[in-house]
Amino acid sequence: MAKTKEVFREYLTKQGLKSTRQREIILNEFLRCTTHPSTEDLYLKLRKKHPNIGYATVYRTLKLFSECGIAEERHFGDGQTRYESTTCEEHHDHLICKECGAILEFEDPGIEKLQEDVARSD
């Protein structure tokens, strides 16, 4: 987690942006997430303890996370952009329940091999 925070701080500095308390709070909460939060999901979690952090600040900060490589945008067909931390070094896939929208991460060596074979067959 410390390395991720340092990557973000360095990115802000390179972009001429400030490392603010609000951005640190958002980063800490994002890194604690065990799901793939949307902007709204993260905002609703944060607002309970930090009502001074606005939706637009959460939105812009998640975009910064994506730009600097500590998060990736995900689109699971529910109309929302979700964010996933890139701190997990293992590649994995996602299953999405069509009824309840639950997102399940999984790893399967067979699927990994198929993906590699398809990538090589180009």
Per-residue pLDDT tens over the stretch 15-38: 999 999 999 999 999 999 888 899
Contacts of residue 11, Cβ cutoff 8 Å, sequence gap at least 6: 64, 67, 68, 69
Structural domains in the chain plus CATH codes = 2-89 (1.10.10.10), 90-122 (3.30.1490.190)
Band of pLDDT at residue 98, cut at 50, 70 and 90: confident
pLDDT digits (tens, 9 = 90+) for 84-95: 888 766 666 666
Is 64:12 a contact under the CB 8 Å cutoff? Answer: yes
- pLDDT beyond 90 at 66: yes
Angle between helices 2-14 and 55-68 (to 10 degrees): 100
DSSP annotation string for 32-64: H-SS--BHHHHHHHHHHH-TTS-HHHHHHHHHH
The pTM (predicted TM-score) of the whole model is 0.75
